[in-house]
């Protein structure tokens, strides 16, 4: 099967732009398309001449490749035995697919948030009508006019047109498989989904791409800033070609959590995150007050600062600012606000005590800054915007590198960054319940601290921009 049918020529691109509303896209989004148009619309990965030598990008593709390699290396003397082994191979392949998402390419104007309104691109082949399907690790960098939607194996069985006879999985890669998609086979897919799909098992795991990641440098460092959220979602932390859960789900998640529905909204929130303008200013103000007192302390450490002196410093500074504020700027809720900010001292101390007890902070350490909370999310927002086609590849890379530089200026190490990120997340969501919002961060911290593939163990916290962007 040749994937050339999905190559978009220049004339077609111009026609779609002139039609404008045919895709439901604004003219501004085609700026992204023009800048990011490229020929890598579908995966095209050469098979190595020496069997068994391919390094797959991720664990699923490596497993599929090893299944195929073992089957190909066997010396089949009995045709019936070979046929039976072929059936076992396809079942093992399907079992692996059933535990993860698969991705189907769509022309952008032919997809929809409603799966029932999508138009599958079908190839007419000598074995019938075929749909191309890919696993996550093999997806190319986002293309402006060809997008991917994610499916479970059961969803694929339910949503594909009935006249599709088969699926070509990972075509033009070292781990391809052509499989029937008739009614009987689709029932097998549904059964395998019920057996192998584990929504929770796909989250809270450290995933590292073996190939396709940028080399060590500012871009890789900036991607690593998002490792907490990548761990929570089961995404590869070092992947610069983000597709997430497919175009429609990425749009839905950005709208739900960030109210981002177009390019302008993405640009605004990306800038605010990089400028650390999303987190309330007084969180950092409270920590800065302790840091200032620590410089005067003989030990010079924030954790040695007396809590009473810290509270007094916070309140005194706030009241000094109020005394010099323009008339009318201080509202009737000022005293309530002062009490709230002073109260953050106790909340921070209680979180730090729990962090130390759980190993998220060393016994003699304190949180110096919550800059990580905005900057870690800035790293992810750059990728989310790119995957949603609200940002260009260049904009994504520039934002990730800018986040890298800001994080190095605000934090001293990966552990220091992690403590700041965890505190920011807890202040935002947890309200001292030490529930899921905190437990996810604790699990992420432990995985990032201990796993050999973690960026904390492979990427220096301080890098020079002169080392190049890579990727």
3-state secondary structure of 150: strand
Residue 304's pLDDT is 82
Q: Bridge partners of 131?
A: 122, 167
DSSP state of 241: S
Give how far Cα 417 sits from Cα of 90, 371, 374, 414, 427, Å.
45, 8, 11, 5, 15
Both tokens assigned to 20:
């404008």
Both tokens assigned to 232:
């929570």
3-state secondary structure of 103: strand
Residue 165: count of CB within 10 angstroms of its CB: 17
pLDDT digits (tens, 9 = 90+) for 348-360: 999 999 999 999 9
pLDDT by 10s per residue, the chain, length 471: 444 343 323 323 333 323 333 344 444 556 788 889 888 899 999 999 999 999 999 999 999 999 999 999 888 778 888 888 899 999 999 999 999 999 999 999 999 999 999 999 999 999 899 999 999 999 999 999 999 999 999 999 999 999 999 999 999 999 999 999 999 999 999 999 999 999 888 889 999 999 999 999 999 999 999 999 999 999 999 999 999 999 999 999 999 999 999 999 999 999 999 999 999 999 999 999 999 999 887 666 777 889 999 999 999 999 998 888 887 778 889 999 999 999 999 999 999 999 999 999 999 899 999 999 999 999 999 999 999 999 999 999 999 999 999 999 999 999 999 999 999 999 999 999 999 999 999 999 999 999 999 999 999 999 976 655 555
Both tokens assigned to 313:
């410093």
Give how far Cα 346 sits from Cα of 155, 283, 358, 375, Å.
49, 12, 18, 25
Is the separation of the CB atoms in 67 and 211 below 8 Å? no
pLDDT digits (tens, 9 = 90+) for 177-200: 999 999 999 999 999 999 999 988
- Token look-up 């989250």 returns 203
Q: Which secondary-structure segment (H or E) carries 107?
A: strand 102-107
Residue 311's pLDDT is 97
3-state secondary structure of 457: helix
Strands 166-169 and 177-180: antiparallel
Query: What's the CA dihedral at 52, 56, 58, 59 to 10 degrees?
Result: -10
Both tokens assigned to 152:
């479970």
Is the separation of the CB atoms in 386 and 396 below 8 Å? yes
Q: Which secondary-structure segment (H or E) carries 250?
A: helix 247-258
Angle at 253 between CA 247 and CA 259, to 5 degrees: 115
Residue 467's pLDDT is 52
Which phi and psi (to 5°) does residue 58 adopt? -150, 175
Q: Bridge partners of 133?
A: 169
Residue 330's pLDDT is 81
Residue 323's pLDDT is 86
Is the separation of the CB atoms in 222 and 400 below 8 Å? yes
Q: Bridge partners of 231?
A: none
Residue 33's pLDDT is 80
Residue 324's pLDDT is 85
Rg (alpha carbons) of the chain, rounded to whole number: 26
Residue 332's pLDDT is 85
Residue 392's pLDDT is 95
Cα separation, 343 vs 336, in Å, equals 10
């Amino acid at each position: 099967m040749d994937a050339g049918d999905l190559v978009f020529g220049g004339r077609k691109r111009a026609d779609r732009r002139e039609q404008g509303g045919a895709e439901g896209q604004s003219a501004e989004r085609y700026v992204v398309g023009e800048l990011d148009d490229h020929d890598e619309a579908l995966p095209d990965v050469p098979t190595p001449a020496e069997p068994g030598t391919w390094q797959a990008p991720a664990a699923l593709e490596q497993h599929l490749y090893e299944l195929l390699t073992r089957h190909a290396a066997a010396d089949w003397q009995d045709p019936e035995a070979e046929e039976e082994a072929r059936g076992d191979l396809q079942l093992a392949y399907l079992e692996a697919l059933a535990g993860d998402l698969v991705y189907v390419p769509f022309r952008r104007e032919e997809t929809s948030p409603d799966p029932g309104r999508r138009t599958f691109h079908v190839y007419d082949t000598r074995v019938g009508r075929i749909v191309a399907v890919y696993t996550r690790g093999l997806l190319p960098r986002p293309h402006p006019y060809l997008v991917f939607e994610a499916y479970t194996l059961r969803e694929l069985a339910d949503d594909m047109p009935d006249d599709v006879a088969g699926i070509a999985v990972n075509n033009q890669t070292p781990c391809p498989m052509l499989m029937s998609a008739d009614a009987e086979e689709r029932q097998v897919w549904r059964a395998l989904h019920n057996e192998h799909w584990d929504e929770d098992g796909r989250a809270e795991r450290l995933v590292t791409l073996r190939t396709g990641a940028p080399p060590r440098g500012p871009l890789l460092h900036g991607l690593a800033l998002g490792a907490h959220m990548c761990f929570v979602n089961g995404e590869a932390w070092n992947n610069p070609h983000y597709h997430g859960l497919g175009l429609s789900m990425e749009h839905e998640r950005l709208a739900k959590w960030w109210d981002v529905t177009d390019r302008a909204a993405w640009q605004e929130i990306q800038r605010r995150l990089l400028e650390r303008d999303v987190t309330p200013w007084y969180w950092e103000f409270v920590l800065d007050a302790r840091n200032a007192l620590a410089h005067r302390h003989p030990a010079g450490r924030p954790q040695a600062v007396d809590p009473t002196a810290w509270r007094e410093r916070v309140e005194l500074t706030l009241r000094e600012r109020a005394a010099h504020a323009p008339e009318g700027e201080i509202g009737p809720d000022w005293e309530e606000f002062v009490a709230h900010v002073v109260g953050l001292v106790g909340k921070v101390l209680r979180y730090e005590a729990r962090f130390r007890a759980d190993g998220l902070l060393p016994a003699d350490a304190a949180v110096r800054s919550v800059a990580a909370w905005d900057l870690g999310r800035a790293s992810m927002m750059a990728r989310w915007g790119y995957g949603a086609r609200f940002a260009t590849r260049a904009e994504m890379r520039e934002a990730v590198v800018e986040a890298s530089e800001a994080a190095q200026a605000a934090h001293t190490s990966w552990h220091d960054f992690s403590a700041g990120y965890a505190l920011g997340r807890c202040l935002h969501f947890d309200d001292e319940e030490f529930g899921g919002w905190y437990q996810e961060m604790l699990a992420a911290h432990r995985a990032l601290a201990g796993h050999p593939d973690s960026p904390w163990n492979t990427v220096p916290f301080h890098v020079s921009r002169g080392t190049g962007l890579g990727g």
